[in-house]
Structure 1
Amino acid sequence: MPALPDGEAVPDDGALPFLPLVEPVETQNRVSTGSTSGGARPFGVYVHVPFCSVRCGYCDFNTYTASELGGGANQAAYATTALREVDLAARVLDDAGLSGRPVSTVFFGGGTPTMLPAADLARILRGIDDAWGLADGAEVTTEANPDSVTPESLRVLADAGFTRVSFGMQSAVPHVLATLERTHDPRRVPDAVAWARDAGLDVSLDLIYGTPGESLDDWRASLEAVLATGVDHVSAYALVVEPGTKMHAQVRRGELALPDEDDQAAKYELADDLLTEAGLGWYEVSNWARGPEHACRHNLAYWRGDDWWGIGPGAHSYVAAPSSPVEPVEMAAGVRWWNVKHPRRYAALLESGASPGAGRELLTPGQAQLERVLLGVRVREGLDVDALDPSRRAAVAGLVARGLLDGVAAVRGRVVLTRRGRLLADAVVRDLTA
């Protein structure tokens, strides 16, 4: 697992380094992602559940199996621990003048959140609702493995207020799943989708392409299996083999061979072709939905720079600096912070009444602008050209000429990726930033 970033210390009480905001100010160029009060910035909550039954060879997330946890990290008590951070978050935001905003989206990720009893997940969600209130029509998602749910557990989640479930399918091909060290039976996926839909939940399936040994026909088979379920949302991510993982060691030893960039591009294009033909349009580089109502609003909130609080060990949070229309003050554009990684240390800090924050960074206006371009260019709505630094706006014409940006959108003052641009999104961002 990667180390946490360097940063300044987080105060024991978790206090944010901002002056109170008297009146909420609407962020410019924002597209609404949910109901919030007044003109306040949307606010979401991420809940990290760090438990897995096995560790997949490619995974570098902050997750732990039972044998890795050791003493003092009690999975059965995790809901109580997470709710302690919810209470702390409510106090910190209230002290910073950032209370009063209902939660637009909640996302339980991991790990495998559904390794916890459904009643525990419902209890955490109830605590979030008690602390801030859920906005009308709030989106509440949990990730799950197909073998970690039952019809009964999914009904409990739906009754508690969950609205979506995102299943980690990854592949429909047994030998690809074996290379990834995924343990679920791919034949169970259609059943899990049907159970979730019967419970009234919207369903997304997550796929990974570019696994060593995966052919283009293998990838086509996975896409066709996804489409056969009739889901309304699909995420497809290129495999990234991170240093420190078991798979990275296997590649380094020559036991596994990674595909080349042309193979990855061909698989992305095949996914885009088949998903588009089936009525799922791209709305972010790696995500397709049957319509705007099926897009993952929580992830869109990240790409649009909304505020969120991350609950759980290793979770990251971000809050933009409040600003006063009456008397501007010199301050950072926002603050990002991250929690200690190990569940045992995380629980101990909260039990003692201290913040679990391990470090934080204050973003300068220049850094915030860079991130706005980096993230905003990935979504289908794109960016307003005026969001670019004036010195970089001339680069748009060159990117249109190279087929990386949509020319019609550019004439209308928007920066929107073409499909070729989606394949080369990092290069586009380099050209659009100083």
Structure 2
Amino acid sequence: MPSVLPLGDPAPADGLLPPQVQSGVEHRRFGLYVHIPFCAVRCGYCDFNTYTATELGGGASQDAYAGTAVAEVAFAASALDASGVPRRPLSTVFFGGGTPTLLPAGDLAQILRAAVAEWGLAPGAEVTTEANPDSVTPESLQVLADAGFTRVSFGMQSAVPHVLKVLDRTHTPSKVPQVVQWAREAGLAVSLDLIYGTPGESMEDWQTSLETALSYEPDHISAYALIVEDGTKLAAQIRRGEVPGIDDDDHAAKYELADALISQAGLEWYEVSNWARTPDQACRHNLAYWRGDDWWGIGPGAHSHVGGVRWWNVKHPVAYASRLAAGSSPAAGRETLDAGTREVERIMLEARLASGLLVDALGGSGRHAMAGLIADGLVDPAAAFRGSLQLTLKGRLLADAVVRRILPE
């Protein structure tokens, strides 16, 4: 089942935020995340807050979900107004899951229309949906494009059937080029998500997946190392010895291969696990997370952040719908980040970006660590001379270790 929610303070039923969120709001972009918590099959590696039909239980309905999400959109607009946060047009909207495209395209369009009616869209706004390759049609993608979606992120994961089988993915590799073509015909930008390090995946398998994905000429690629989460089917299989465990050296070698092949194909890394064909095709919604902008998360288990206040919704769709039907906030808890915590998080996230961190913005211990990081080949020396901490390829492989060395003591 999905992982547990974090601990935090009680969240007020009216959704009101403290006055501090108004400070500097004019300098922060505003985005919307919409969580669609439904999947046809639970993948063995997944611990996201998602539900199959058998897990959903009574009292929750996919058919009614769009109306419930629209109710939270209205609640969010009202709560922000009452908290003194001026309305800002949406810079980004991201539908994630789960599998958003399990819902009819018209339902996703309905939620987007409600959000646009409340806040509007900034010029050139990015509107993305995730999708499984077997959950779209030419018609559904056209409905999304006509509704204002600009981008689709397909969960390709692998081009090798036995790897997809271990991951419990339901699509066949031959489906991917077809859906990429449909998306392009609808006028949508295309991102492909890949996973490396699946038990039983050889280096040749991974190279096949990379070369196959690149042959479709996507605008964006994400490549993530498989993480085995406690409580998942895959974790149990590894524990029982049914499949091999995860090898950090294998992960590192596969990342190096990914960076080499993706870069040769003309895409540049802008975050440790993400590459884009042009800077404009980087995922601006994720960049908003990494840069500490504001966003409201719609849906069960969704997380939000506005001006240093972070909160998260109740997990189950039944509890989520019940709270909104009663006119109450669906938030299960929240936390107010102090200046020190926000600084640590800023360093942790911005260090992963190709744009890097300003050295002068680091504390004394972080600045003193720079010489050692350069000597160890983790930080680009020319960028450091210009006053920026930018990771080398080796630094990307050891990004967490770099962050530990530059955090305030």
Secondary structure of 1:230 counterpart: coil
Q: Residue by residue, what CA displacement relative to the aligned partner does 1:387-423 show, whole Å, maximum 9, x if unpaired?
A: 2123321111111110001111111111111000000
Number of residue-to-residue matches in the alignment: 407
**Alignment equivalent of 1:184, drawn from 171, 176, 181:** 171
**Alignment equivalent of 1:148, drawn from 113, 118, 135:** 135
Q: TM-score if structure 2 supplies the norm length?
A: 0.98
Q: What is the CA–CA distance in structure 2 between the aligned matches of 1:119 and 1:352, rounded to whole Å?
A: 26
Q: What is the CA–CA distance in structure 2 between the aligned matches of 1:199 and 1:156, rounded to whole Å?
A: 9
Partner residue in 2 for 1:30 = none
**Alignment equivalent of 1:93, drawn from 80, 83, 94:** 80
Question: Are 1:374 and 2:348 an aligned pair?
Answer: yes
Structure 1 residue 74 displacement after superposition: 1.1
Q: What is the CA–CA distance in structure 2 between the aligned matches of 1:19 and 1:219, rounded to whole Å?
A: 48
Q: What is the CA–CA distance in structure 1 between the aligned matches of 2:20 and 2:405, rounded to whole Å?
A: 35
Partner residue in 2 for 1:79 = 66
Structure 1 residue 260 displacement after superposition: 1.5
Partner residue in 1 for 2:278 = 291
Q: Could you tell me whether the CA contact under 8 Å between 1:385 and 1:413 is conserved in 2? A: yes
Partner residue in 2 for 1:406 = 380
Question: Are 1:282 and 2:290 an aligned pair?
Answer: no
Aligned counterparts, 1:34-45, within 5 A = 39-45=26-32
Partner residue in 2 for 1:25 = 24
Aligned counterparts, 1:50-69, within 5 A = 50-69=37-56
Question: Are 1:172 and 2:159 an aligned pair?
Answer: yes
Which amino acid is the alignment partner of residue 251 of structure 2? Answer: Q
Which amino acid is the alignment partner of residue 191 of structure 1? Answer: Q
Q: What is the CA–CA distance in structure 2 between the aligned matches of 1:109 and 1:425, rounded to whole Å?
A: 26
Partner residue in 2 for 1:206 = 193
Structure 1 residue 95 displacement after superposition: 1.6
Q: Residue by residue, what CA displacement relative to the aligned partner does 1:85-116 show, whole Å, maximum 9, x if unpaired?
A: 11111111112221221100000000000000
Structure 1 residue 73 displacement after superposition: 0.6
Q: What is the CA–CA distance in structure 1 between the aligned matches of 2:146 and 2:237, rounded to whole Å?
A: 44
Q: What is the CA–CA distance in structure 2 between the aligned matches of 1:178 and 1:100, rounded to whole Å?
A: 46
Q: Residue by residue, what CA displacement relative to the aligned partner does 1:244-297 show, whole Å, maximum 9, x if unpaired?
A: 001001111111112411111110000000000000110000001111011100
Partner residue in 1 for 2:213 = 226
Partner residue in 2 for 1:419 = 393
The percentage of counterpart residues that share the same residue type is 67
Question: Are 1:307 and 2:307 an aligned pair?
Answer: no
Q: Residue by residue, what CA displacement relative to the aligned partner does 1:166-218 show, whole Å, maximum 9, x if unpaired?
A: 00000000000000010101100000000000000000000000000000000
Q: Residue by residue, what CA displacement relative to the aligned partner does 1:274-321 show, whole Å, maximum 9, x if unpaired?
A: 00000011000000111101110000111111111100000000111x
Q: What is the CA–CA distance in structure 1 between the aligned matches of 2:371 and 2:222, rounded to whole Å?
A: 30
Residues 20 and 424 (structure 1), Cα distance of their counterparts in 2 relative to 1, 3 Å cut: closer
Segment of structure 1 superposing worse, 134-143 or 379-388: 379-388
Q: What is the CA–CA distance in structure 2 between the aligned matches of 1:394 and 1:259, rounded to whole Å?
A: 35
Question: Are 1:46 and 2:47 an aligned pair?
Answer: no
Q: What is the CA–CA distance in structure 2 between the aligned matches of 1:384 and 1:416, rounded to whole Å?
A: 9
Segment of structure 1 superposing worse, 58-67 or 85-94: 85-94
Q: What is the CA–CA distance in structure 2 between the aligned matches of 1:46 and 1:119, rounded to whole Å?
A: 18
Question: Are 1:254 and 2:241 an aligned pair?
Answer: yes
Q: What is the CA–CA distance in structure 1 between the aligned matches of 2:136 and 2:17, rounded to whole Å?
A: 38
Partner residue in 2 for 1:272 = 259
Structure 1 residue 385 displacement after superposition: 1.2
Segment of structure 1 superposing worse, 357-366 or 252-261: 252-261
Q: Residue by residue, what CA displacement relative to the aligned partner does 1:139-187 show, whole Å, maximum 9, x if unpaired?
A: 0000000000000000000000000000000000000000001010110
Q: What is the CA–CA distance in structure 2 between the aligned matches of 1:388 and 1:197, rounded to whole Å?
A: 43
Residues 19 and 414 (structure 1), Cα distance of their counterparts in 2 relative to 1, 3 Å cut: closer
Structure 1 residue 20 displacement after superposition: 7.0
Which amino acid is the alignment partner of residue 136 of structure 2? Answer: V
Q: Could you tell me whether the CA contact under 8 Å between 1:14 and 1:355 is conserved in 2? A: yes
Q: Could you tell me whether the CA contact under 8 Å between 2:21 and 2:309 is conserved in 1? A: no
Partner residue in 2 for 1:396 = 370
Q: Could you tell me whether the CA contact under 8 Å between 2:196 and 2:226 is conserved in 1? A: yes
Secondary structure of 1:250 counterpart: helix
Question: Are 1:336 and 2:310 an aligned pair?
Answer: yes
Extract structure 1 runs of 4+ deviating beyond 3 A: none
Q: What is the CA–CA distance in structure 2 between the aligned matches of 1:101 and 1:143, rounded to whole Å?
A: 24
Q: Could you tell me whether the CA contact under 8 Å between 2:365 and 2:406 is conserved in 1? A: no
Which amino acid is the alignment partner of residue 373 of structure 2? Answer: L
Secondary structure of 1:254 counterpart: coil
Q: What is the CA–CA distance in structure 1 between the aligned matches of 2:227 and 2:117, rounded to whole Å?
A: 38
Partner residue in 1 for 2:11 = 10
Residues 149 and 272 (structure 1), Cα distance of their counterparts in 2 relative to 1, 3 Å cut: same
Which amino acid is the alignment partner of residue 237 of structure 1? Answer: Y
Q: Residue by residue, what CA displacement relative to the aligned partner does 1:60-83 show, whole Å, maximum 9, x if unpaired?
A: 000000111011111101111001
Q: Could you tell me whether the CA contact under 8 Å between 1:403 and 1:418 is conserved in 2? A: yes
Q: Could you tell me whether the CA contact under 8 Å between 1:382 and 1:416 is conserved in 2? A: yes
Q: What is the CA–CA distance in structure 1 between the aligned matches of 2:201 and 2:15, rounded to whole Å?
A: 46
